Copies of this chain bind each other. A is one copy, B any other.
Amino acid sequence: MTDIIERYFDRIFPICRSITGNGVRETLKIISEIVPLKIYEIPSHTEVFDWNVPKEWNIKDAYILTPDGRKICDFKKHNLHVVNYSIPVHKKITFEELNQHLHTLPHKPNAIPYVTSYYKENWGFCISYDEYKTLPKEGIYEVFIDSSLEAGSLTYADVILEGERKDEILISTYVCHPSMANNELSGPLVSMFLYQKLAALKNREYTYRFVFIPETIGALVYLKQHGEYLKKHCKAGYVVTCIGDKGIFHYKLSKYGNTLADKAAIHTLKHSRKPFRIIPFFPGGSDERQYCSPAFNLPVGSLMRTPYREYPEYHTSLDNKEFISFKAIQESIEMYFQILLTLECNDKYINLFPYGEPQLGKRGLYVGDLSRDQVMQIMYILQYSDGMNDLIDIAERIKVDIKDLHPLVQLLIEKKLLNNGSN
């Protein structure tokens, strides 16, 4: 399993992605080998709430020739060398002029920083501070960026995996980050293989919506097109990001921390026997801040490993293959899958024999047929399936994993003691 993940990583990682352009298209095409994506193109300049879809950006090559004859910031060696969304440029300039277009990180001298300029036309190069220090202050530099910034379109994709209900679970990740590994190739990789596991599941209760978009502007486009539908049907959602490093799990709550997304994630993490941390919502971060914005306020949280900004390699060339772990990615897929299974198990079931206890013995549901613990769990389910509690609530009350209660729920449905919830 980790092998195939790694093979896809190796193919997708080198592509120069941005919020528009062929890098996104190429990436979505590869993902389509696993996930039957539907791909959309939104023309440049389309109005999106307070925003506009920007011009489409593409790039073929870029480099700097130094006065002492070196070729540096070679786009073909690392696409982070070019400021993302740089306009084309080809000229000879002094170091002084060049210097205003160079980005370095003096505190991380061996890292090429990741810099973008989506909404302000500009050009620039990113270079490690170690290399920067070797540049001659005298002489003439030749800068070359073979890019285009023209009317075109923004590309995104989604896929719907239908279930018994129209109610939906949203899985959203982003495909606009160029060659970085944790932030953000881990999100698309986890989403791809999570889709695969889920598609193999029979009798899904929920309908699943997987969304592969450029961050921010893509989420806004998506909400423009699907926001009202999601307000009605999305019962829980997760933004999948920073999910490939070796750190412990971090679950970022939705805006008020009180949604089904939060309840299912926390319940699952608590019963996972893995260390984890719950962090409150904050309006920085990724697309959860669009999904949770006041007009939509969707029940969307985010399960990560080490969150953005909390690891020093974040947004640099050091966020690379060495920084992540394919074993961690596989574990992340499994954890997300377990959260979805929690949601699948959950429902507000209703006791159909609410007048006192139903007679369990005559239905083969008493001690002897089942263990004493199971009989007690059945009694809890019947007592609290009174319209006030869903199955997570009951599992939390008994301090057991919802997955241990679910077979008993199935048995009770079979015995016609419980209805099967929302169906």
Which A residues have a C-beta under 8 Å from some C-beta of B?
Answer: 49-51, 119-120, 216, 219-220, 223-224, 227, 255, 281-284, 289-290, 292-297, 351, 353-359, 361-362, 376, 379-380, 382-387
List B contacts of A223 (CB < 8 A): 355-356
Q: Assuming A219-B356, A361-B119, is B51 touching A379 (CB within 8 A)?
A: no
List B contacts of A382 (CB < 8 A): 283, 293-294
Question: Is A51 touching B283 in the complex (CB atoms < 8 A)?
Answer: no
> Would you call the interface of chain A mostly helix, strand, loop, or mixed?
loop
List B contacts of A224 (CB < 8 A): 355
Nearest chain B residue, comparing its CB with the CB of A361? B119
Nearest chain B residue, comparing its CB with the CB of A52? B359
Nearest chain B residue, comparing its CB with the CB of A372? B284
Question: Is B379 touching A283 in the complex (CB atoms < 8 A)?
Answer: yes
Q: Assuming A120-B361, A359-B119, A379-B283, is B353 touching A385 (CB within 8 A)?
A: no
Nearest chain B residue, comparing its CB with the CB of A48? B356
List B contacts of A358 (CB < 8 A): 49-50
A357 vs B48: C-alpha distance in the bound complex, in angstroms? 11
Q: How far is the CB of A356 from chain B (nearest CB, A)?
A: 4
Q: Assuming A284-B376, A379-B289, is B354 touching A294 (CB within 8 A)?
A: yes
List B contacts of A290 (CB < 8 A): 356-357
Question: Is A50 touching B293 in the complex (CB atoms < 8 A)?
Answer: no
Contact of A220 among B292, B356, B361 (CB under 8 A): B356
List B contacts of A292 (CB < 8 A): 383
List B contacts of A357 (CB < 8 A): 50, 216, 220, 289-290, 293
Q: How far is the CB of A278 from chain B (nearest CB, A)?
A: 16
Question: Is B354 touching A293 in the complex (CB atoms < 8 A)?
Answer: yes
Nearest chain B residue, comparing its CB with the CB of A227? B355
List B contacts of A356 (CB < 8 A): 49-51, 219-220, 223, 290, 293, 295-296
Question: Is A383 touching B294 in the complex (CB atoms < 8 A)?
Answer: yes
Q: Assuming A119-B359, A216-B357, is B383 touching A289 (CB within 8 A)?
A: yes
List B contacts of A227 (CB < 8 A): 355
Question: Is B294 touching A351 in the complex (CB atoms < 8 A)?
Answer: yes
Contact of A284 among B50, B284, B379, B384 (CB under 8 A): B379
Interchain residue pairs A-B with the least CB separation, the first 5: A283-B379, A294-B354, A294-B386, A295-B354, A49-B355
Nearest chain B residue, comparing its CB with the CB of A120? B361
List B contacts of A219 (CB < 8 A): 356
Nearest chain B residue, comparing its CB with the CB of A256? B388
Nearest chain B residue, comparing its CB with the CB of A350? B294
A351 vs B295: C-alpha distance in the bound complex, in angstroms? 9
Question: Is A282 touching B376 in the complex (CB atoms < 8 A)?
Answer: yes
Contact of A353 among B49, B119, B283, B384 (CB under 8 A): B49
Q: How far is the CB of A387 from chain B (nearest CB, A)?
A: 8
List B contacts of A384 (CB < 8 A): 255
List B contacts of A294 (CB < 8 A): 351, 354, 382-383, 385-387
Q: How far is the CB of A40 from chain B (nearest CB, A)?
A: 18
A362 vs B282: C-alpha distance in the bound complex, in angstroms? 22
A51 vs B220: C-alpha distance in the bound complex, in angstroms? 58
